[in-house]
Amino acid sequence: MASILAYLPFAQILVSFLIVACVLLQQRGTGLGGAFGGGDGSFFATRRGIQQKLYLLTWALGAIFLSLAILNLLL
């Protein structure tokens, strides 16, 4: 059990770097301005290919990071 506790912070750091990399590799959307009417919402594109894989990987890494954080709090 003690060996798991020693590696949890390192696992969280690694997953956080992977999340940042996935977010930076994704294409830009309309940005925050589109939420307040500043962007042109007439063009809607679906994610395909590598963009969809990056999107899903980002969500999966976020879930892993959240799980590691909760596990770190409980142990």
- Tell me the per-residue pLDDT of 2-55, one tens digit each, with 9 for 90 and over: 788 889 999 999 999 999 999 999 988 655 555 566 555 555 667 788 999 999
pLDDT attached to residue 61: 98
pLDDT attached to residue 33: 57
Is the pLDDT at 69 greater than 60? The verdict is yes
In a domain, 41, yes or no: no
- Measure Cα distances from 73 to 18, 20, 69 in Å: 21, 23, 6
In a domain, 39, yes or no: no
In a domain, 10, yes or no: yes
pLDDT attached to residue 3: 84
Report the domain count for the chain.
1
In a domain, 9, yes or no: yes
Full domain range(s) for residue 66: 2-26+47-74
Is the pLDDT at 65 greater than 80? The verdict is yes
Quickly count: other Cβ atoms within 10 Å of residue 15's Cβ. 20
In a domain, 14, yes or no: yes
Is the pLDDT at 66 greater than 90? The verdict is yes
22 vs 48: CA distance, rounded Å: 15
